[in-house]
Structures are given as C-alpha cells and as structure tokens.
Structure 1
C-alpha cells in the first residue's frame, strides 16, 4: 500500500477536533431547563442553569458553559464558558474536561496552551470520553502539547473509533493502510474505512475503492447463504448470497466465522465458514 493516506491522517484533526456537547442532558435534572431549551428560550435556560451551576452541579456547569460558548441566549462569552467548564472539570466531569481542553487548544477564553489542552484531554480520555480520546490522539499525531508519537495516536484513535467517532475510524483506516503507528494491514484498513463509510464519510468510501481489489476473496459454496450482522446464528441476517459469488475476506475467527465486505451494500458482515469454499484466492 502506498503512502497516499498518510498526509490525511496528520491533517484531519486540525479542522475536526471533537467537542463534548451535552446540553441534551438537561431533561435528566431539570424539567424546567428542558422545557426552556426545547422552546428556544435560551435566556431562561441559561438563568436556570446558572442557579444550579452556582450550587455546584457539574452537569449544569457544563451545559451553562456550552450555552455561553455557543452564544445561545446572549452574545458568545468564551471566557465565562471556560470558567464553567473548569468548575465542572475539576469535579471530574469528563465532557467538561474535554471542552476545557479544546478551549486551551484554540485559545478560546483562556490562553492558547496545547500542553494544558493535552492534560485535560487525557483526564477525560482516561474516563472513556470518546471525543477526548480522538482529540488526544490527534495531538499525539501532530506533536502539539505532547511529543509526537504515532503509536500513542493510534491507541487513542482506536478507543474513540470503537465508540463510533467517525473521524477516528477514518484515521484508523488511514493508519492501517500505511502502517503508521500500527502494523500495516489492508484488511484492518478496510474494516475501519467501512465503518466510517457506513456512517457517511465520503473519503472513506473512496479509500475502499482503492483497497478492496487487494483483499483475498472466498467463493460462496451454497445457495442463499446467510450473511449476518454479528458472528452468531441468532444475529440479524443482513444479506443472502449465492454460489459461485466471491466475497472479499477481512479475517476469520476460531469459532468458524469469516468477516466479509458486501460491496453492494457497503457494509461488513459475517458468514459461517461452512458456507464458503476452503481456499481463499488473492485478487
């Protein structure tokens, strides 16, 4: 595989850092706040959130920060937003930690300090915040606030990708295609690009066109062979295929399943080994 993806891996995060926006959590702690936000009365929502935030509620502090940063109910106030993010972040709120890291990375309401941004991203990432995991990985890829380390970048991108962050899935595909920070593997690249493409990433679809011809294939050995969404016989049937069709193969499991890519459906699937011919063929 040529290095056609490498520049994209390093550049993607510059314009695609991920925020943790949690204003939708308002109904969980305040019917009044939820009602005001649903009605578009952000001034009232901001007032109600401030009351709770000043009482020390970290979720209210986070959401007040979100409204202030976005300028909902008033002019944007990034300095005040960062203050409330910090209040919540210091109480361990992972979404607020991620947003505070973003503020320090972009210099929004605070001084631009990539090393401090990395510290807050790490705090949130270690708690499992997917946006922070992606952001921390991107800092490692760019060498901003941390020493550049593509293995660390890939490690954090993988965690975010497994939680469904599309940009992280794309970056994992690119890193796998080029062997940057991880072992080179066209099959792994197809896996991650397929996930990103299924979520609507057009560049991932283009990458799949380049990679799929290089994957080994297996021939279907039965009529109406069932392809499932998971590797068990009770999982959803997502397609049926017939002999002698050949399917791109990504890998196998010890319990008798093969992961394949359904080009006509643009998605991954699982098929029982017993429904395939014994030998794979390179394309």
Structure 2
C-alpha cells in the first residue's frame, strides 16, 4: 500500500528520536489518576487532553510525552504545538520543529486517523522553512517550503496549503513563477470554501483583464471573510474598485452575490 512520506530535510537527521525516557521527568502523574506511565498510549493521550482542557498543562505535557514515547502521533503533535506556541512550556521552535519532523518522517497511511496530524505537521514545517528559526540550524528555505505546501495541497487536498502554494507560485518564491498553476490551486481552494483563495483568485483575474468577474470574486470574498482576513482583502478589493467605472462596479456587485452562494 502506498504511503505518503516526507523527505528532504537539508542538514537534519529525520531519524532523531524524541529522547523521551520515563526517568527524565521531574513530574509524576497523579497516583490517584486512572492512568500511569505504563498505561497505553491512547489512554495517556486522553488523560493529557482532559488535563489540558482543565488547565493542568503540566500534567498534559507529561502525559503527552509518555504517549509520544509509545509512538502516539497525536500526542507528539500536541506536544510539538505546545512548544511552538509556548503553551504550558517554554516556547522552543526548534524543539517543535524536531517533533513535527518525526511525524512527517513516519509518513501516513491514506485515510488513517493520523492524517490530520501529518498534514498539520507538514504545514508547520513549511512555515518554519519560510521564515527559518533563529539561533538554530534551520535557515529559510523557500524551495523546501514550496515542496511541503505542494505535498499537502496535492496529496491531501488541504485548502490552506493550496492557497499558500498558489501565493508562492504567483511571486516566484522558492522557484519559477507560474501564474497558470497558481490559478489552478486558487480555484481548487476557493471552490472548497477558502475565502482568501477566492479573493486572490479574483485579483489575478482582474489583473488579466477580466475586470468585472475578478472584482466580483474579490467582493464576494470580502463579504464572507473572517475578521482576521478583512484588512488585506478590503485593501485589495478597494484598490481594484477604484480603477473601474461605475457600470462595472454595479455589475461586479451584482455578480458577487451569486458567487457567494455557489462554486462557479
């Protein structure tokens, strides 16, 4: 059976273990808890998740560590994310990078319960390669980031990966620019409901001379976006809006209403 596997970490050893040994922890699971270091990985994961929800992040970290040592992918991802966010532990992007790398290096069976964790690990690694990690061996590598986004976009249909890949293709980050491929990925992502992709897709159409249709997509995106995306979408839409005549503006606004309800 085919496995999706990640490769190509330059200068890194993908086989590096997490070095999680039970004797290395100062903390101890509550002796009255239903789990112990000898419990199964899923029971430890559930205990860690419950502890996290209750605000007992120290217990969550320890439970996740024991579960990760036993090979539980979800626990390893949760622990990596806590390090990436500085959530319950001291923020350490390089430590998070190594844990995400462990997940990515193991691959995943298509359709398995670990697929989401695997894709999220690819996305996190791509972000790290885009900006690098100060005071670590990880330097910006846009080509590697683009490769990771392509893997998540193509093999797993992740709409955020499709959107980010498209932006790199538009600007030529990490390789040659390719407007045609960028439009393909933007179109796929926006059909699956990615509002940012809809807006950028519209902007590309606008730049190509499809004034009304492009402005309509940008307007539809602005009308349905999350607050976190409003500023950049609004700036893009308003700039285009200022460049067209009143007749085309009215047509675009009328068309945007139907675009917002469909995947035209």
TM-score, length-scaled by structure 1:
0.60
Equivalent of 1:125 in 153, 157, 166:
153
Higher strand share: 1
The Cα offsets for residues 159-218 of structure 1, whole Å up to 9 and x where unpaired, read as 233333333222112112112xxx72522441343134322425545627556741676x
Point out which structure has higher relative CO (alpha carbons under 8 A, 6+ apart).
Answer: 1
Sort the Cα spacing of 1:54 and 1:184 in 2 relative to 1 into closer, same or farther, 3 A.
farther
Deviates more, 1:63-72 or 1:32-41: 32-41
Equivalent of 1:261 in 245, 250, 257:
257
Residue 36 of structure 1: how far off its partner (Å) = 1.9
1:261 aligns to what SS in structure 2?
helix
Count of matched residue positions in the alignment of Structure 1 and Structure 2:
199
* Superposed counterparts of 1:29-108, under 5 Å: 30-90=45-105, 91-92=107-108, 93-108=118-133
Equivalent of 1:197 in 223, 230, 248:
223
1:157 aligns to what SS in structure 2?
helix
Residue 69 of structure 1: how far off its partner (Å) = 0.8
Sort the Cα spacing of 1:269 and 1:121 in 2 relative to 1 into closer, same or farther, 3 A.
closer
- Give the Cα separation in 1 of the matches to 2:176 and 2:89: 39
TM-score, length-scaled by structure 2:
0.64
Equivalent of 1:214 in 227, 230, 248:
248
**Which residue is 1:239 aligned to?**
none
2:257 aligns to what SS in structure 1?
strand
Higher helix share: 2
**Which residue is 2:185 aligned to?**
156
2:212 pairs with 1:186:
yes
Q: Structure 1: which 5+ runs fail to align?
A: 1-26, 218-246, 251-259, 271-283
**Which residue is 1:168 aligned to?**
197
- Give the Cα separation in 2 of the matches to 1:39 and 1:213: 57
User: 1:122, 1:136 within 8 Å by CA — same for their partners in 2?
Assistant: yes
CA RMSD of aligned residues (A): 3.1
The Cα offsets for residues 125-155 of structure 1, whole Å up to 9 and x where unpaired, read as 1111222212211211221212111222222
Q: Structure 2: which 5+ runs fail to align?
A: 1-41, 109-117
